[in-house]
């Protein structure tokens, strides 16, 4: 049996070739096997964090931590999996444990702040970000700093953080969308429109940015759809969004026409738009 194990290890990589040539002690063999198992486990951990079902990933890391509760990499895996599973409050508890670990890094505190924001604990998130050294300049850190500044209505600081975050990633669509929404809430509709349009140049399929773009345009009285890639169903949804924005703005007749376009465009029965149009007609008649 020992010869079979040694042969397997020798075939596993050149690192162990010299050991196989001279013969290994039982202790060295066990150490080598453990090293190979750690590599296999690391690969499995990566898989669980990316392609597996979030609930399955949570169960996997919870089980792994029961066997080896001191492993900070497993704690991180559980924290990330809980975020994917839409359980930010539980994730925040795990990340708090990670931050208290001797091997914790500034990135771990960023992840804790992220989980706290997701669970609507803004003050605690701000306190965690304030503990991160200013030299730790990462996309995620500045993305969260921008969101905190937004929540405090510190617009100049928010703009500065958003701009910095955009410069630190090759995939800025999401943060540009957030920045645009921030502009939209401030009433800077033209500025919001520019940012949503820019976001779509990086991710043409980001429907949230398309929807927000329509809102920013409708707020300016622009009731034609922007020239962006969209499916027939998306076109109907965007027309519906524009209709509601027009009605809210007081342009009821325009909104009514847009509702009808949305119903006619949708590839299936568009219940929400139909219900809104019927309610509008009933209100006019009464």
Are 131 and 143 found together in one domain?
no
Those residues of the chain that have pLDDT short of 50 are 1-23, 29, 31-39
* Residue 26 φ/ψ, nearest 5 degrees: -60, -40
**Does 111 lie in the same domain as 160?**
no
- In this structure, is residue 48 part of a structural domain? yes
Which residues does 115 contact at the CB level (< 8 Å), separation at least 6?
Answer: 79, 82, 83, 88, 89, 91, 92, 95
- Residue 281 is predicted with a pLDDT of 82
Is residue 7 assigned to a domain? no
- How many domains does the chain fold into? 3
Based on the fold, state whether residues 73 and 110 are members of the same structural domain: yes
Q: What was the pLDDT predicted at 120?
A: 97
Residue 200 and residue 238 in one domain? no
Q: Which two tokens stand for residue 45?
A: 């951990």
Residue 205: domain span:
139-216
Contact 242, 223 (CB under 8 A): yes
135 Cβ contact list (under 8 Å, min separation 6): none
Claim to verify: residue 103 and residue 178 sit in the same structural domain:
no
Which of 115, 136, 157 lies at the terminal end of a domain, its last residue? 136
Instruction: Tell me whether residue 225 is in a domain.
Output: no
| Residue where a domain terminates, one of 158, 181, 216 | 216
Same domain, 61 and 128: yes
Quote the pLDDT of residue 29: 44
Q: Return the H-helix or E-strand segment holding 274.
A: helix 271-285
pLDDT of res. 41:
57
Residue 22 within a domain = no
Boundary of a domain, candidates 216, 248, 269: 216
Shared domain for 118 and 145, answered yes or no, is: no
Alpha helices (H) in the chain, listed in sequence order: 2-11, 17-22, 26-50, 54-67, 72-84, 88-99, 106-118, 122-130, 139-151, 155-166, 173-186, 189-202, 207-219, 232-249, 252-265, 271-285
**Does 16 fall in a domain?**
no
Task: Convert the pLDDT of each residue in 204-260 to its tens digit.
Answer: 999 999 999 999 999 999 999 999 999 999 999 999 999 999 999 999 999 999 999
| CATH value at residue 194 | 1.25.40.10
Whether residues 99 and 159 share a domain: the answer is no
Shared domain for 131 and 153, answered yes or no, is no
Q: Do 59 and 102 have their domain in common?
A: yes
Same domain, 131 and 61: yes
Distance separating alpha carbons of residues 249 and 238, to the nearest angstrom? 16
Confirm whether 54 is domain-assigned: yes
Question: Has residue 152 been placed in a domain?
Answer: yes
Same domain for 76 and 101, yes or no, is yes
The per-residue pLDDT for 65 is: 94
Half-sphere exposure of residue 162: CA atoms within 13 angstroms, side-chain side: 24
Domain-located, residue 49: yes
Q: For 92-113, what is each residue's pLDDT tens digit?
A: 999 999 999 999 999 999 999 9
């Amino acid at each position: 049996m020992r010869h079979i194990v040694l042969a397997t290890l020798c075939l596993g990589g050149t690192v162990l070739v010299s050991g196989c040539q001279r013969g290994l002690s039982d202790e060295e063999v066990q150490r080598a096997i453990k090293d190979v198992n750690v590599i296999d486990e690391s690969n499995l951990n990566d898989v669980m964090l990316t392609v597996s079902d979030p609930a399955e990933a949570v169960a996997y890391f919870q089980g792994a931590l029961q066997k080896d509760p001191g492993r900070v990499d497993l704690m991180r895996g559980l924290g990330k999996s809980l975020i994917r599973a839409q359980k930010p409050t539980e994730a925040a508890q795990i990340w708090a444990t990670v931050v208290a670990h001797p091997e914790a890094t500034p990135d771990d505190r960023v992840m804790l702040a992220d989980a706290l924001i997701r669970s609507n604990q803004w003050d605690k998130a701000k306190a965690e970000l304030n503990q991160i050294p200013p030299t730790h300049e990462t996309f995620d850190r500045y993305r969260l700093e921008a969101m905190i500044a937004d929540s405090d209505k510190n617009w100049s600081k928010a703009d500065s953080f958003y701009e910095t975050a955009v410069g630190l990633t090759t995939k800025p669509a999401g943060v540009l969308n957030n920045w645009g929404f921030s502009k939209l809430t401030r009433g800077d509709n033209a500025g919001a429109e520019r940012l949503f349009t820019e976001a779509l140049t990086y991710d043409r399929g980001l429907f949230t940015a398309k929807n927000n773009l329509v809102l920013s345009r409708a707020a300016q009285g622009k009731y034609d759809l922007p020239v962006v890639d969209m499916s027939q169903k998306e076109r109907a949804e965007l027309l519906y969004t524009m209709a509601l924005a027009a009605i809210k703005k007081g342009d009821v007749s325009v909104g009514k026409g847009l509702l009808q376009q949305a119903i006619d465009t949708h590839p299936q029965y568009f219940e929400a738009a139909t219900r809104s149009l019927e309610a509008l007609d009933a209100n006019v008649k009464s």
